[in-house]
Amino acid sequence: MINYELDGKVAVVTGGASGIGKACAHAFARSGADVSIWDLNQSALDAAADELKQHGHRVHTAIVDVSDSRAVDTAMEGVVGELGKVDIVVANAGIGGDISPSGDYSDEGWHKVIGINLDGVMYTQRAAIRAMKKSGGGSIINMASILGSVGFAMSSAYVAAKHGVVGMTKAAAWEHAGDNIRVNAVGPAFIKTPLVEKSLDAQTLKFLESQHALNRLGTPEEVGELVAWLASDAASFATGAYWAIDGGYLAR
């Protein structure tokens, strides 16, 4: 396992109690960082925190619905109060949303996905920028998807939100390079997490595997490696970019 040399850094991961977010938190803690994981449910947060403490660094948890901007601001202030500063933020919390054609997509379903997957990333990124400006800079990683660069049937809200995440990442990178803040977007293909495994049947999963050149889904840990590199000083020239990690999905 690679150590990304994050000693003394403080990392925040939204949606950090499960899947990709939890894997990112492990890669950070394993590399020496203190971590704050945010999620909706205290028992899931406690279980993830118990695992993360095995790396020997401080672990902070917060119940935060990222679609609530005030909750996000309060939680970011809480991390600074508890852990002293914020160096790394992964705006990862997200949902799949309704599966429906664009012509039938409901207002409620649309606003739910946009509220979490787009507004939630904007609120998290904004709070991160404000905190990082006070401590001299940092690295923000916004969790997009391959569906931040190509379309996918029956998921218009998700596809729109992820394309929006890529756009806001590029704008913020230009705006805050002078504050020593790097901002990148990560685009995983289909990854074996509860989000995918809960919502798709075995036949669909098999089909999706075949859509990757590597003929399998990715693991959360494989995404965590890219995110940890982007968070680290080794990625000092990386900003404003969309980083696909997709087993070859987009290579067609």
Ligand X SMILES: NC(=O)c1ccc[n+]([C@@H]2O[C@H](COP(=O)([O-])OP(=O)(O)OC[C@H]3O[C@@H](n4cnc5c(N)ncnc54)[C@H](O)[C@@H]3O)[C@@H](O)[C@H]2O)c1
| Candidate ranges 4-12, 82-90, 171-179, 190-198; the one touching ligand X (CB under 6 A) | 190-198
Binder of ligand X out of 61, 67, 125, 169 (CB under 6 A): 67
Q: Which two tokens stand for residue 14?
A: 């939204």
Binder of ligand X out of 4, 9, 12, 21 (CB under 6 A): 21
242 is catalytic: no
Identify the CA nearest to 190 among candidates 203, 206, 169, 170: 206
Sheet-wide strand order for 59-63: 59-63, 34-39, 10-14, 88-91, 138-143, 181-188, 242-245
Q: For residue 165, give Cα distances in angstroms to 5, 6, 58, 77, 240.
A: 27, 25, 29, 23, 11
| 93 touches ligand X (CB under 6 A) | yes
| 94 touches ligand X (CB under 6 A) | yes
Report the site for ligand X in 205-244 (rule: CB under 6 A). none
Q: What is the DSSP letter of 244?
A: E
| 34 touches ligand X (CB under 6 A) | no
Min CB(252)–ligand X separation in Å: 17
Q: What is the DSSP letter of 200?
A: S
| 95 touches ligand X (CB under 6 A) | yes
Q: Which two tokens stand for residue 162?
A: 């992820």
| Candidate ranges 5-13, 26-34, 61-69, 128-136; the one touching ligand X (CB under 6 A) | 61-69
Min CB(57)–ligand X separation in Å: 21
Q: What is the DSSP letter of 242?
A: E
| 191 touches ligand X (CB under 6 A) | yes
Q: Which two tokens stand for residue 214?
A: 């590597």
Q: For residue 1, give Cα distances in angstroms to 26, 36, 111, 225, 237.
A: 11, 22, 40, 9, 23
| 92 touches ligand X (CB under 6 A) | yes
Please pick, among 4, 123, 158, 249, the residue that the annotation labels catalytic.
Answer: 158
Q: What is the DSSP letter of 96?
A: -
| 196 touches ligand X (CB under 6 A) | yes
Min CB(69)–ligand X separation in Å: 12
Binding footprint of ligand X, residue count (CB under 6 A): 28
Min CB(108)–ligand X separation in Å: 15
Report the site for ligand X in 122-151 (rule: CB under 6 A). 143, 145
Identify the CA nearest to 162 among candidates 150, 144, 146, 185: 144
Whether the Cβ atoms of residue 95 and residue 119 lie closer than 8 Å to each other: no
| 185 touches ligand X (CB under 6 A) | no
Residues of this chain that interact with ligand X (CB under 6 A) are 14-15, 17-21, 39-40, 64-67, 92-95, 116, 120, 143, 145, 188, 190-191, 193-196
As annotated, the active-site residues are 158
